[in-house]
Amino acid sequence: MRPIEVHDLRKAYGQVRAVDGISFEIDRGEVVALLGPNGAGKTTVVEIIEGHRTADSGTVRVLGHDPARRERALRERIGIVLQEAGFDEDATVAELVRLHRDLYPRRLDAAAVIELVGLTAKRSARVRTLSGGQRRRLDLALGLVGDPEVLFLDEPTVGFDPEARRQAWSIVRDLRATGTTILLTTHYLDEAQHLADRVAVVVAGRLVALGPPAELAARGRSTVIEFRSAEGADVTTLPDALGDGARVERDGAGWRVTTEDTTRALHAMTGWSIEHRVPLDAIEVRRPTLEDAYLTLVGERAVHAGADEAVPT
Ligand SMILES: Nc1ncnc2c1ncn2[C@@H]1O[C@H](COP(=O)(O)OP(=O)(O)OP(=O)(O)O)[C@@H](O)[C@H]1O
DSSP string, 107-151: ---HHHHHHHTT-GGGTTSBGGG--HHHHHHHHHHHHHTT--SEE
Cα within 13 Å of Cα(206), Cβ side: 9
Most ligand 1 atoms within 8 A of CB, residue of 13, 15, 184, 207 to mutate: 13
pLDDT in tens, 136-146: 889 999 999 99
ipTM for this model? 0.97
Best residue for ligand 1 mutational test, from 10, 15, 16, 152 (most atoms within 8 Å of Cβ): 16
Within 6 Å (CB) of ligand 1, which residues are found? Answer: 13, 16, 18, 36, 38-44
Tell me the domains of the chain and their CATH numbers. Answer: 4-217 (3.40.50.300), 223-287 (3.30.70)
Q: In angstroms, what is the span from residue 205 Cα to ligand 1's centroid?
A: 10
Residue nearest atom 12 in ligand 1 by C-alpha distance = 18
CA of 112 to the centre of ligand 1 (A): 36
Instruction: Tell me what pLDDT residue 6 has.
Output: 98
What Å distances lie between residue 240 and 81, 272, 292, CA to CA? 49, 10, 22
pLDDT in tens, the chain (313 residues): 999 999 999 999 999 999 999 999 999 999 999 999 999 999 999 999 999 999 999 999 999 999 999 999 999 999 998 776 677 889 999 999 999 899 888 889 999 999 988 999 999 999 999 998 888 889 999 999 999 999 999 998 888 889 889 988 999 998 999 899 999 999 999 999 999 999 999 999 999 999 999 999 887 678 899 999 887 788 999 999 998 888 898 888 889 998 989 999 999 999 999 999 999 999 999 988 888 888 888 876 655 554 444 334 4
pLDDT of 310: 37
Per-residue pLDDT tens digits for 166-191: 988 999 998 999 899 999 999 999 99
Atom from ligand 1 closest to the CA of residue 47: 18
Going by alpha carbons, the residue nearest to atom 16 of ligand 1 is: 41
- Geometric angle at alpha carbon 107, from 149 and 53, rounded to 5°: 50
| CA 157 to ligand 1 center in whole angstroms | 21
Phi, psi torsion values for 260, nearest 5 degrees: -100, -5
Cα(111) to centroid of ligand 1, in Å?
37
